[in-house]
Chains A and B, each alone.
Chain A
Amino acid sequence: MKTNTLILHTAALFIMPLQLMFSLFLLLRGHDEPGGGFIGGLVAASAFVLYAFAFGATATRHILRVDPRDLLSAGLLFALASTIPAFLAGQPMLTAHWWELPLPGDTYLKLSTVLIFDIGVYAAVLGTIMTFVINLMESEE
């Protein structure tokens, strides 16, 4: 299912990067403002779905670079990896750990296992939807 409309092609090329950046923005700010891994993953998925509608499944696979299934398992691994610090510290599973890195200009970079976990959710959501969409489209072709 590949469309040949110029408007969709051009729009997809412009909108997709914006959507992807927006999805990362949502992911990173999610702990304090509306957003988070789940929503971010959905936005990223819609970016790739838009691209897939414009350029077809094969091209989408190409720009994704990894098989969506690998994305899925990477997401699960990330989420599991976020449990390791608590495990090593002998705390209950999934106890959050925070590290603050000072940056120039009196700001702090807040890193945490929660963020790693959220990245896992992001990747798992993206992987799931892309697995659906790409394979459905391919079975069409």
Chain B
Amino acid sequence: MLLAVLSGFLLAMAVPALHRITGKYIGWALAFLPASLTVYFASLIPAVQANGSLLIEYAWLPGLDITLNFLVDGLSLVFALLISGIGTFILIYSGSYLAGHKYLARFFVLMLSFMASMFGLVLSDNLVTLFVFWELTSITSYLLIGFNHEDMEARKSALQGLFVTVAGGLALMAGLILLAIMSGSYSLSEILSSDMALHEHAFYTAAVICILAGTFTKSAQVPFHFWLPNAMAAPTPVSAFLHSATMVKAGIYLMARLNPSLGQGELWSQALMLFGAATMLTGAYLAFSSTGIKKVLAYSTIMALGTLTMLLGVGTELALTAFVCFLVAHSLYKGALFMIAGALDHETGTKDITVMGGLRKAMPVTAVIACLAALSLAGLPPLFGFIAKELLFESLLESPIWSASLTITMVLAAMLLVGVAGLVAIKPFFGQSGNTPKKPHEAPFGMLIGPAVLSVTALVFGLVPFLPEAALLQTAIGSVNGAAVETKLALWHGVNKPLMLSVISLLLGSGLLASWNRLRSPLAAINASAARFGPEAGYFKFMDGITIIAAWQTRILQNGVLGLYLLILVAVTFGLTGYTLLTQHGINLTLDLADSHFYEWGIALLLVAAATFSSTTHSRLGSVASMGVLGFGVALTFILFSAPDLGITQLLVETLTVILLVLVLFKLPEFGNLSSPFERYRDLAVAIFAGIVMTLVILAALDVQYFESISSYYIENSATLAYGRNIVNVILVDFRALDTLGEIFVLSLAALGVLSMIKLKAEDQHKP
């Protein structure tokens, strides 16, 4: 399982080499991985059905309660299968879509990394690992949206997507930590199986708000929906994979995952219903009023995400059944439609629906597939989308609260969606032939197989719904619900209320479609004026605000006078330390100088003399050299008190510091006396103050021992546990090796930072 999750990362590393070998067939070659993963995940189905869920454990950082445990149940398997199944065809598709692109290898590296992160996200059992994978999907998504990095618009959209999702991610982290505090565990399986009433806990409201902030931004709920249409700047395979079928559903996944634990609270269900319904209607309306085929699809994705959220909010067994069915149906048809949109763009040279028309003669296969997928989108029989929509209506009609208003909203959205389906399937392929920039011809096989398989799957699922139901959907519904659910999916339910509603929305939707050309310009005008007050305008205002505040506080705090930085740092640090010392400990000095030796006095005097000289001298070199003397004096002290390792280190570090300082000194201008006497006395006062506080703290530290000293443990166990007699080294490389690892990473980053400063400076000088 670990290998299954991480294989994407591993393969990503090998992509550049593979690209050289396989050339233009790289898409096909890479597709083997998700294809075999699909088989692997499918092979887990029987075990999951038998046991309800599987927990596969790998310890990672057990000391921090962080594990790489994987939780496999119906819900995570549905997601994993969607990711691997759709991923297979997306990779094949990308190979054709981006054939000959100079950054093709880079594209696949990112796609595979994304896929692996997504697997990790939906399979993680530990909240911390889940969050790490969550952020990884945000980052890979950022890189993929900005894939055409020379395009200003793409960069801007990429940043916007990143800011919105990562800001939400931050809230999510807080929410997950609160959740762990509430339930006492970081393990999802433990949280889900505990029967604690989380909604009565004091942190419940805060946790729900934080978690929803994360999932709503990720899954593009109103008012954070604006980043998703902009993300369409990404190449189409990315939109098809990340921004319709997988990444944007991560938020939905997490909500579904936590639904059994958090779903009892009213806040949870009402927030989900409210925001979900608002998102659904907004998305459907904006989809209908757009003209770019990718924007249309993006907005209809927002509509679908809203619907899913709303269904989770309704939370009845029927609603959760509808949730899982709609999730699968949507992934199938939206993935297919996006790939069709890419094919249209690729073959006609435009994304604008208004100039497309009559393409069925030039692209007959594409036209058939598009119609099939669009039928599922519109929710017409005999496709799986129809079953999902019938369930949707039925569950809303039986919703415990707000049934009427939700149903009306849903009918409006469904009506708009019928129009949208017409826009993507009828408008481009039928009617008068349009005037496209490129002469259209049929898309290559690699670009058709994906949408074809997905649409046919939707058709098969529609005709024989009991097959996927028995295989997986029922288990998945059970894991969203927290308890097993009896379902009975069927294409035909007889003439009932849901069917009537479907017919009504279909009729109204066809009417809308017929008048789309007339409605378009007034709708565009309304949208333009609404956009000025929309959330996206708010986003830009907010970003501008951040820049202004950043500039303001930089002017105040970081005005470029290094001395001032030091002064503030030292004064604040020692002011606070001194205050704590006074209030917590008080000052009681008992100095006993009886057993001090004369050479200790000698070293102390040397230190004082060196410090005084280095701060009063007018020669830089002299100052640096006397700092070195100071350091050597400290080293001498270490050696006197038998700490040879520290002594050696101190000596070496001092030597190298002096050398580095001398190297830097050459770059500085002549010594000048720029500060006024007042400033110098102020600095002196702060320096003396800091020195006194530090001395008092050290003296106090000798007095007080809050905890039992750990050094005896090290002394006893260093040789037996770590096979080393040098305790300092054993601590560094064995007992506290993780700290050391962190330190050498910090060291390296510091080196790279200094390097870039030196290099940048050098480049500036080379310019005239």
Contacts and interface: CB of A to CB of B under 8 A. Distances in A.
A117 B736 CA distance: 12
A129 B750 CA distance: 10
A92 B61 contact: yes
A110 B723 contact: yes
B733 A121 contact: yes
B680 interface: no
Contacts of B725: 31-33
Contact of B726 (A30, A42, A125): A30
B59 A91 contact: yes
Interface residues of B, number: 48
Interface string B39-61: 00000000000000000001111
B729 A31 contact: yes
Contacts of A36: 645, 726, 728-729, 732-733
- Secondary structure of the A side of the interface? helix
**Residue of A76, A92, A136 most packed against chain B (CB within 10 A):** A136
A128 B751 contact: yes
Nearest to A116: B733
Contact of B61 (A35, A90, A93): A93
A125 B244 CA distance: 47
**Residue of A33, A73, A80 most packed against chain B (CB within 10 A):** A33
Given A36-B726, A110-B723, A136 B664 contact: yes
Interface stretch (B302-310, B528-536, B591-599, B651-659): B651-659
A24 interface: no
A45 B722 contact: no
Contacts of B582: none
A64 B94 CA distance: 44
Contact of A42 (B63, B653, B733, B748): B653
Contacts of B655: 46
A136 B758 contact: yes
A89 B603 CA distance: 51
Contact of A128 (B724, B750, B761): B750
A42 B656 contact: yes
Interface in A10-37: 30-37
B747 A124 contact: yes
Given A36-B726, A132-B754, A139 B762 contact: yes
Q: How large is the interface on A (under 10, 10 to 19, 20 to 34, 35 or more residues)?
A: 35 or more
Interface in B685-738: 722-726, 728-730, 732-734, 737-738
A36 to B, nearest CB: 4
A34 B242 CA distance: 54
A38 interface: yes
A136 B661 CA distance: 10
A140 interface: yes
A127 B754 CA distance: 13
A34 B645 contact: yes
B744 A79 contact: yes
A114 B748 contact: no
Contacts of B437: none
Nearest to B653: A42
Interface in A43-93: 43, 45-46, 49, 53, 69, 72-73, 75-76, 79-80, 90-93
B751 A127 contact: yes
Contact of A39 (B648, B660, B747): B648
A6 B567 CA distance: 45
B659 A38 contact: no
B206 interface: no
A23 to B, nearest CB: 10
A13 B393 CA distance: 86
B741 interface: yes
A133 interface: yes
B663 interface: yes
Contacts of A49: 656, 659
A98 B719 CA distance: 13
A27 to B, nearest CB: 10
B748 A128 contact: yes
A117 B758 contact: no
B595 to A, nearest CB: 27
A98 B653 contact: no
Nearest to A82: B737
A8 interface: no
Given A75-B744, A76-B744, A131-B754, A39 B649 contact: yes
A125 B752 CA distance: 13
A34 B61 CA distance: 30
A12 to B, nearest CB: 14
B666 A42 contact: no
Contacts of A140: 663, 666-667
B435 interface: no
B22 interface: no
The 3 closest A-B pairs by CB, nearest first: A42-B652, A31-B724, A36-B729
Interface of B: 58-63, 644-645, 648-649, 652-653, 655-656, 659-660, 663-664, 666-667, 722-726, 728-730, 732-734, 737-738, 740-741, 744-745, 747-748, 750-752, 754-755, 758-759, 761-762
24 contacts: A30-B726, A31-B725, A31-B729, A31-B730, A34-B645, A36-B645, A37-B733, A39-B648, A46-B655, A72-B751, A75-B748, A80-B741, A96-B734, A110-B723, A117-B733, A117-B741, A124-B748, A125-B744, A133-B659, A135-B758, A137-B663, A139-B761, A140-B663, A140-B667
Given A93-B61, A128-B748, A132-B755, 7 more contacts: A35-B645, A76-B745, A94-B741, A121-B740, A128-B750, A129-B656, A136-B758
